[in-house]
Chain A
């Protein structure tokens, strides 16, 4: 199990150190600093073994978090724990920075004592933790006996992510379908790989212990329902709209065995913000933009670049925050750009032409052309032409995912599914969206 946990600043000074196991000595703190933080070469692995001691590290801005062990621990668990640790800290004091850590060191020690016992991760849901560990000092001493046992049963209970007795005047929930669409396209326009990784994020403001059921246009579910005797018309209609999900994972509130057997998504949600599910699709992806590059080398000191982007979605929808990055060689001396729409600038520090367009409707196209002057070099190595990358945001889900329903049941309180105000929003963003040139 985890033997110790250290938090360092970018200089390698230790801000927090908590040792859980006897086999981890003080020298481990220095070993990591010397061999990883101060290492001359870029770190080549997130797991480092120094003198039979293993270090797992993650970095958040310029803060290093390192877990240390001398045993054969579950490595995946250690990293999941470190991420969770970051989440918890963010939930308490937003940004993980040196200043915030220093200002909250008592709180962090308290958290570390609570969420890691003898190196075993314990309940680390910030919702539950906040009921008895606060920045204003410990609450629990003022709790009544009932409240105390409610805390402990929640922290250890089956529904560790939600406390009882939550009340809202207005029962409301917000569903965000957030997708990032990834593409690697050849210069000839052939799709080398494309996938969507999506998340369903929920903000729930619901009273009591509501039972929720979430439904989407999952092909497996729809096909199954059609099997139960829908007309062929229906099936043709909805068959088009359903999507094939390659794989999905759920928040721990979702009953996985039920999903496995019936493919239904049922759960009692945590209060407030959380991520309900993640999914991945690779079939029938709507690629919102197509990039058509044309690079011509004119002699040894000049390059001509022409890039066309085409928006490929309903004309009534608007894409936003469009940015195209066209890499330029290291020996670029000057660039002239002409673009039809938006603004384009050569950024020498990034070695790229950055073309920004605020908004663009569907079924349109736009073009940029640039002349790049090069300094003559005698370097043998050819310029490797990194791919042209794109950023954008579109108001639909490129995977085609649609939320069909989210039903809420709370038998003990007197509100019904109809009384809950529900909001659904779809946002598609570019992930790594690249076209080779």
Chain B
């Protein structure tokens, strides 16, 4: 506008004034306009003209302007370069530092070229103030042009500064290096080793509070070599717990929480350290409210990781009337985490008090907390329920609703214990207007329909406005009415028909419709089954539903004090770009004498309980996920999963599969094959037998010239199991081998993504032979981009059994820091042939005869150029044992036996026509079902 133009021209005139004072005032006006967001970039040349002055205040103002506008006017910014370069040589260290500091803030590529020489000088300046400023400037320059910093060798100079005599220079160098290192995860820039750590620890005692934070945050990334080093670092860090600056305290806590993991728990020092951690954490609660909030979010993590630290400090988390709401809500969370039988009375009294406060969110959370106490501390359940009933009597609408929601959970935890309160709950039916509360109430009515006389009326009343209800309520109502019908079928037929038609015909919600149809079909085809399904016993709900998942918790512990610990999210969830993608982990304990190699793999055989506990529970989660997808169709999501089948062929047959076979059989008792030969099994299993046979034997007999192949179990070449496309960059090739009696799953993991991968874990779905990992997946992490590693995972047969199709199919879930990936692969059955499968000749003969001819399968293997002895040797390597051999009419007949891990035996007769590449195999099996197996194994 005209006014703005007027203003600009007026300033222009003032800037070019001869009078110093007037000039300065004009620049001040420019900065003031800049602050409020006015565009004063048009004044660039005039302002830059003021730069050459010996008035430091004016110079600083001009610099401020330059930092703001240089980027938009890069060509003009060059005009300033000469002055900067000159200032970097000024005798006054404050001016030298100012120049190098400002130059780094001018993010113009052309300027950076000119910056290098002055920066190099300043990094070696005699004055520590200049050096500490130059150290930060390297980080600035790296942010603009990383390559330039590397080419100019500034990183090495920066590393040298870690040994500087001045503590503040050290601290800034550490801060700059840490930041640069974050964008180069594998650069080993910080090169932390016992010597450099020692330097940092010395500087820690001498530098400013901020410097101490930089150093502690850097130390936290170090992995001590052994428990002794870990202890000595802890000893030197603990004095920081008494620092007045809360951030110093929290960063020290982070180092201690991490390194403590490496200490043996029976060490006296371990206990001492635990005791030292509580008081400073409590002291943080007397800091200003914003810091209290940060502290509480962190304490929430700490009590999940190590509940013992604060278990006696419940009282300090009691809410004060004047606490800001964000502090109140966090304290409440921690109170519940610390609640135990010992302090429950106090906690409940407090919670009851809070439930009468003003802030709606807080009150709701307090009511919910009472419910959680009931679930967590069984002894208090009764008292909690009566407290909740008292609160319902207040008739405060949101209190009543919240109470009903938690009472539903209490019912699920303690079924058939507190039903007496249902009448009171029903009185409040009309006041419920929130979907969650309505759904909870409907669930209660449905679940206890047989004890509520007018359950049908109650549910019918909800039905009137069915289409206005939220989905949550509709689904619950549908289920509740079906339950009611199954319990009182005579009176409620009409009601159930009404709800089914509402759900299936008048609704456009697919979930609701599907559920409606399922119930309808169930009820119409098999009411008995419907009853079993719908009224099945529900699994009890667990105590703590909101615990942070262990791997995430571990990562967050490594981020104590930072935003990640405030958000309870890994940095990758809220930081853009490459920064923060690295996942941090707690080092694990290894004895003093062990080599560092074992640390690298992250899992020395004697790993401590803690990390070991983390991975299996993660695995459980995966297992659950898999179960959800793969539970047999007869069980519903609500019903408890059946007990895992014990291992072994017997049980397998006796359990899940006898309905298919039509009867069980004991070991080595031949079973008559139903119908003719392959008829029945073929329907169950892939019918094309020839292909796998050919392929299989081809594999086993793939002897080329027989050279170079060591005797031993046949190992098929690795195949692609998980393509990088599906694995978000993780590619897995794999195969199976039997080595020294142990089945090994051998995999080649390749990271084809741009970021590092960590935190690998593996889990199998239940499978035909109960294969399961015998230990955690040991992947040396991090797996850097483009890195490939081979891992071998020993397996055992201890897992749950479920028949797969094909039989040797294995569904695998692999997890890393990025995601969980599923794939399936097939193992050669020969892996399952055990070493003691050699049958006594007599037994073999008797068994062979006992097995009816129908149980015999025959097939030919072509193109096999081995004589019978070589074949016999070859097969022996795969635990296929030749019991006898005879030669009839130019044919070698080999009689062989093999035994599977689950005890089933397979007998074969291998006929080798001398000089012909064709083998004929006849199999007889101890069990008809398994006809498939040897075929797969290629025998």
Residues of chain A whose beta carbon lies under 8 Å from any beta carbon of chain B: 1, 13-17, 19-23, 26, 29, 42, 44-47, 49, 52, 54, 56-58, 69-77, 79-83, 105-106, 109-110, 113, 117-118, 120-124, 132, 137-138, 140-141, 143, 145, 148-149, 151-153, 155-158, 160, 184, 192-193, 195, 197, 246-252, 254-257, 259-261, 275, 277-278, 280, 380-382, 384-387, 389, 432, 434, 436
- Could you tell me if B127 and A113 are in contact, using CB atoms closer than 8 angstroms? no
Q: List 26 A-B contacts (CB under 8 A).
A: A14-B35, A15-B35, A19-B68, A23-B576, A49-B567, A58-B290, A70-B575, A72-B563, A72-B564, A76-B247, A79-B291, A113-B60, A118-B136, A120-B214, A123-B208, A141-B55, A149-B93, A152-B93, A152-B94, A153-B128, A157-B168, A251-B244, A257-B236, A260-B239, A384-B358, A386-B321
Q: Which of B171-212 contact A (CB under 8 A)?
A: 172, 175, 179, 205-210
B166 to A, closest residue via Cβ: A156
Kindly state whether residue B337 has any CB partner on chain A within 8 Å: no
- Could you tell me if B213 and A260 are in contact, using CB atoms closer than 8 angstroms? no
Kindly provide the distance from the CB of A339 to the nearest chain B CB, expressed in whole angstroms. 24
Q: Beyond A74-B562, A120-B210, A158-B206, is A249–B244 a contact (Cβ under 8 Å)?
A: yes
Task: Determine which of A57, A75, A261, A386 lies in contact with B565 in the assembled complex, contact meaning CB atoms within 8 Å.
Answer: A75
Report chain A residues within 8 Å CB of B325: 42, 44
Task: Determine which of A197, A246, A278 lies in contact with B279 in the assembled complex, contact meaning CB atoms within 8 Å.
Answer: A246
Which A-B residue pairs are the 10 nearest by beta carbons? A247-B279, A152-B129, A76-B247, A260-B239, A77-B247, A256-B239, A72-B571, A46-B290, A121-B210, A156-B168
- Could you tell me if A29 and B562 are in contact, using CB atoms closer than 8 angstroms? no
Kindly state whether residue B858 has any CB partner on chain A within 8 Å: no
Kindly state whether residue B10 has any CB partner on chain A within 8 Å: no
B346 to A, closest residue via Cβ: A192
Q: Beyond A71-B575, A76-B295, A123-B208, is A151–B242 a contact (Cβ under 8 Å)?
A: no
Q: Mark B246-269, 1 if CB is under 8 A from A, else 0.
A: 110111000000000000000000
Kindly state whether residue B322 has any CB partner on chain A within 8 Å: yes
- Could you tell me if A151 and B91 are in contact, using CB atoms closer than 8 angstroms? no
Report chain B residues within 8 Å CB of A80: 209, 245-247, 291
- Could you tell me if B205 and A257 are in contact, using CB atoms closer than 8 angstroms? yes
Kindly provide the distance from the CB of A58 to the nearest chain B CB, expressed in whole angstroms. 6
Report chain A residues within 8 Å CB of B179: 1
- Could you tell me if A45 and B242 are in contact, using CB atoms closer than 8 angstroms? no
- Could you tell me if B322 and A432 are in contact, using CB atoms closer than 8 angstroms? yes
- Could you tell me if B210 and A77 are in contact, using CB atoms closer than 8 angstroms? yes
Q: Which of B801-827 contact A (CB under 8 A)?
A: none
Kindly state whether residue B326 has any CB partner on chain A within 8 Å: yes
Size bin of chain B's contact surface: 35 or more
- Could you tell me if A46 and B289 are in contact, using CB atoms closer than 8 angstroms? yes
Q: How far is the CA of A75 from the CA of B566 in the complex (A)?
A: 8
Report chain B residues within 8 Å CB of A113: 60, 63-64, 101
B238 to A, closest residue via Cβ: A260
Instruction: Identify 15 new A-B residue pairs, CB closer than 8 A, beyond the known A77-B247, A260-B238.
Output: A47-B566, A71-B563, A74-B250, A77-B251, A79-B294, A80-B247, A105-B32, A106-B28, A158-B167, A193-B315, A246-B282, A249-B280, A249-B283, A278-B244, A387-B321
Report chain A residues within 8 Å CB of B175: 1, 120
Q: How far is the CA of A71 from the CA of B293 in the complex (A)?
A: 19
Looking at A15, A69, A157, A255, the one whose CB has the most chain B CB atoms below 10 A away is A157
Q: Beyond A52-B576, A72-B580, is A79–B288 a contact (Cβ under 8 Å)?
A: yes
Report chain A residues within 8 Å CB of B579: 71-72
Kindly provide the distance from the CB of A209 to the nearest chain B CB, expressed in whole angstroms. 15
- Could you tell me if A76 and B242 are in contact, using CB atoms closer than 8 angstroms? no
Task: Determine which of B37, B57, B574 lies in contact with A137 in the assembled complex, contact meaning CB atoms within 8 Å.
Answer: B57
Q: How far is the CA of A13 from the CA of B37 in the complex (A)?
A: 10
Q: Beyond A70-B576, A141-B54, is A157–B166 a contact (Cβ under 8 Å)?
A: yes
A72 to B, closest residue via Cβ: B571
Q: How far is the CA of A122 from the CA of B136 in the complex (A)?
A: 11
Task: Determine which of A42, A192, A250, A436 lies in contact with B244 in the assembled complex, contact meaning CB atoms within 8 Å.
Answer: A250
Q: Beyond A156-B168, A246-B279, is A252–B244 a contact (Cβ under 8 Å)?
A: yes
Q: How far is the CA of A308 from the CA of B939 in the complex (A)?
A: 97
Task: Determine which of B56, B209, B210, B315 lies in contact with A140 in the assembled complex, contact meaning CB atoms within 8 Å.
Answer: B56
Report chain B residues within 8 Å CB of A192: 315, 318, 346
Kindly provide the distance from the CB of A217 to the nearest chain B CB, expressed in whole angstroms. 18
Looking at B244, B283, B322, B567, the one whose CB has the most chain A CB atoms below 10 A away is B244
Report chain A residues within 8 Å CB of B283: 246-249, 278, 280
- Could you tell me if B243 and A250 are in contact, using CB atoms closer than 8 angstroms? yes
Q: How far is the CA of A322 from the CA of B50 in the complex (A)?
A: 60
Report chain A residues within 8 Å CB of B567: 47, 49
Kindly provide the distance from the CB of A26 to the nearest chain B CB, expressed in whole angstroms. 7
Report chain B residues within 8 Å CB of A151: 94, 129
Kindly provide the distance from the CB of A265 to the nearest chain B CB, expressed in whole angstroms. 10
B209 to A, closest residue via Cβ: A252
Kindly state whether residue B541 has any CB partner on chain A within 8 Å: no
Q: Beyond A77-B210, A193-B315, is A156–B128 a contact (Cβ under 8 Å)?
A: yes
Q: Mark B314-329, 1 if CB is under 8 A from A, else 0.
A: 0110101110011000
Q: How far is the CA of A74 from the CA of B580 in the complex (A)?
A: 13
Q: How far is the CA of A26 from the CA of B35 in the complex (A)?
A: 11
- Could you tell me if A156 and B169 are in contact, using CB atoms closer than 8 angstroms? yes
- Could you tell me if A382 and B56 are in contact, using CB atoms closer than 8 angstroms? no
- Could you tell me if A83 and B288 are in contact, using CB atoms closer than 8 angstroms? yes
Task: Determine which of A69, A77, A123, A140 lies in contact with B168 in the assembled complex, contact meaning CB atoms within 8 Å.
Answer: A123
Residues of chain B whose beta carbon lies under 8 Å from any beta carbon of chain A: 28, 31-32, 35-37, 54-57, 60-61, 63-64, 68, 91-94, 97, 101, 104-105, 107, 127-130, 132-133, 136-137, 139-140, 143, 166-169, 172, 175, 179, 205-210, 213-214, 217, 236, 238-240, 242-247, 249-251, 279-280, 282-283, 286, 288-291, 293-295, 315-316, 318, 320-322, 325-326, 346, 353, 356-358, 361, 394-396, 559, 561-567, 571, 574-576, 579-580
- Could you tell me if A122 and B566 are in contact, using CB atoms closer than 8 angstroms? no
- Could you tell me if B293 and A197 are in contact, using CB atoms closer than 8 angstroms? no
Looking at A15, A77, A256, A380, the one whose CB has the most chain B CB atoms below 10 A away is A77
Q: How far is the CA of A257 from the CA of B695 in the complex (A)?
A: 72
Q: Beyond A151-B94, A246-B279, is A138–B576 a contact (Cβ under 8 Å)?
A: no
A192 to B, closest residue via Cβ: B318
- Could you tell me if B562 and A72 are in contact, using CB atoms closer than 8 angstroms? yes
Report chain A residues within 8 Å CB of B209: 80, 252
Q: How far is the CA of A433 from the CA of B127 in the complex (A)?
A: 53
- Could you tell me if B132 and A156 are in contact, using CB atoms closer than 8 angstroms? yes
Kindly provide the distance from the CB of B873 to the nearest chain A CB, expressed in whole angstroms. 61
Q: How far is the CA of A49 from the CA of B567 in the complex (A)?
A: 9
Report chain A residues within 8 Å CB of B36: 13-14
Report chain B residues within 8 Å CB of A82: 290
Kindly provide the distance from the CB of A424 to the nearest chain B CB, expressed in whole angstroms. 21
Report chain B residues within 8 Å CB of A83: 288, 291
A143 to B, closest residue via Cβ: B92
Report chain A residues within 8 Å CB of B321: 386-387, 389, 432, 434
Q: Beyond A382-B394, A384-B358, A436-B353, is A117–B101 a contact (Cβ under 8 Å)?
A: yes
Report chain A residues within 8 Å CB of B32: 105
Q: How far is the CA of A231 from the CA of B390 in the complex (A)?
A: 59
A26 to B, closest residue via Cβ: B37
Q: How far is the CA of A248 from the CA of B282 in the complex (A)?
A: 10
- Could you tell me if A75 and B561 are in contact, using CB atoms closer than 8 angstroms? yes
Report chain A residues within 8 Å CB of B396: 380-381
Kindly provide the distance from the CB of B218 to the nearest chain A CB, expressed in whole angstroms. 11
Report chain A residues within 8 Å CB of B320: 184, 432
- Could you tell me if B242 and A248 are in contact, using CB atoms closer than 8 angstroms? yes
A107 to B, closest residue via Cβ: B57
